[in-house]
């Protein structure tokens, strides 16, 4: 156990009022230390964020809004409001990272059905997003800035803001939960749609990105006419940093991924936007 992991377990033990022991370390993300812990009877997820980061507070605030999703989402157990040591403790959601052999088409269909349910929730009172187009000097960033005014910002919903397959949990070919709600916002559904489509492309399947949109529109009964413009926004956000996402994909068992492959797949997708 590293010093950071031990500190997180000690803080979590204080928060829940009983001693917790480390069971496992989850490696699918970079912005938090995420641990599986137990008190000998029940399992808990402990997430520790960098000092002075308000993600733990934000996630604690949003989890109460998600009760309609039932066992699909974590339930708040305790949170530390001391930003010097931000830690949140939640219940464990059933499932694991998607199997590396799971078809992207299956992932797309399951993710679309889940997102329809998420977008039925009210985001009123959450911080709005996006507030501005992606910054940067790339041609994609310039295009995103030009197309900003064409985005449909009406009818905001509760959006996840980092909706990719690594924030979904799976049992075989079924999605069993969605985690990492610290970035939840009130915003247009196109934010989540474009981000997930881009993830499916990075998994190697532009056709899955197409199926994802088709399933979302079919299940929600609403056409997303400006998805092309949202795809450009997502592309501009990823363009300068997609290689840095490699640890995320390796962390969910995608051992075939390389930084070069992520760049190749993103550039090929972006060239068609």
Q: Helices in 33-171 by DSSP H: which ranges?
A: 55-63, 104-119, 139-147
pLDDT-based confidence at residue 231 (cuts at 50, 70, 90): very high
249 three-class SS: helix
pTM (two decimals): 0.93
Handedness of CA 160, 162, 165, 171 (dihedral sign): negative
Range of lowest pLDDT (9-13, 81-85, 97-101): 81-85
pLDDT-based confidence at residue 255 (cuts at 50, 70, 90): very high
- pLDDT for 83 equals 84
Nearest to 222 by CA among 123, 272, 154, 167: 154
pLDDT-based confidence at residue 85 (cuts at 50, 70, 90): confident
- pLDDT for 214 equals 98
- Per-residue pLDDT reduced to its tens digit, 152-203: 998 899 999 999 999 999 999 999 999 999 999 999 999 999 999 999 999 9
Q: How far from 240 is each of 137, 140, 154, CA to CA, in Å? A: 10, 10, 29
The alpha carbon of 156 is separated from its chain's Cα centroid by a whole number of angstroms, namely: 18
Report CA dihedral (240, 144, 230, 100) to the nearest 10 degrees.
-10
Rounded-to-integer distance, Cα 98 and Cα 150, Å: 35
């Amino acid at each position: 156990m590293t010093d950071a992991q031990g500190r997180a377990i000690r803080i979590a033990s204080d928060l829940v009022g009983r001693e917790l022991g480390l069971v496992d370390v989850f490696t699918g993300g970079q912005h938090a230390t995420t641990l599986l812990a137990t008190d000998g009877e029940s399992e808990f997820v402990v997430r520790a964020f960098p000092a002075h980061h308000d993600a733990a507070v934000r996630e604690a605030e949003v989890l109460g809004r998600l009760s309609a999703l039932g066992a699909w989402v974590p339930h708040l157990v305790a949170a530390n409001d001391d930003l010097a040591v931000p830690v949140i403790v939640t219940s464990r959601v059933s499932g694991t990272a998607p199997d590396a052999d799971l078809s992207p088409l299956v992932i797309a269909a399951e993710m679309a059905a889940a997102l329809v349910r998420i977008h039925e929730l009210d985001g009123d009172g959450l911080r709005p997003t996006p507030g501005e187009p992606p910054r940067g000097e790339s041609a994609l960033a310039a295009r995103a800035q030009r197309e900003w005014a064409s985005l449909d910002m009406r009818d905001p919903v509760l959006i996840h803001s980092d909706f990719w397959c690594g924030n979904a949990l799976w049992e075989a070919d079924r999605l069993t939960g969605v985690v990492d709600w610290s970035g939840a916002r009130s915003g247009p559904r196109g934010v989540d749609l474009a981000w997930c489509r881009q993830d499916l492309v990075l998994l190697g399947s532009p056709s899955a990105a197409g199926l994802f949109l088709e399933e979302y529109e079919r299940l929600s009964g609403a056409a997303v006419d400006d998805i092309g413009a949202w795809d450009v926004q997502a592309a501009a956000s990823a363009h300068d940093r997609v290689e840095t996402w490699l640890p995320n994909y390796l962390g969910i068992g995608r051992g075939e991924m390389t930084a070069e492959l992520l760049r190749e797949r993103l550039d090929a997708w972006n060239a068609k936007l």
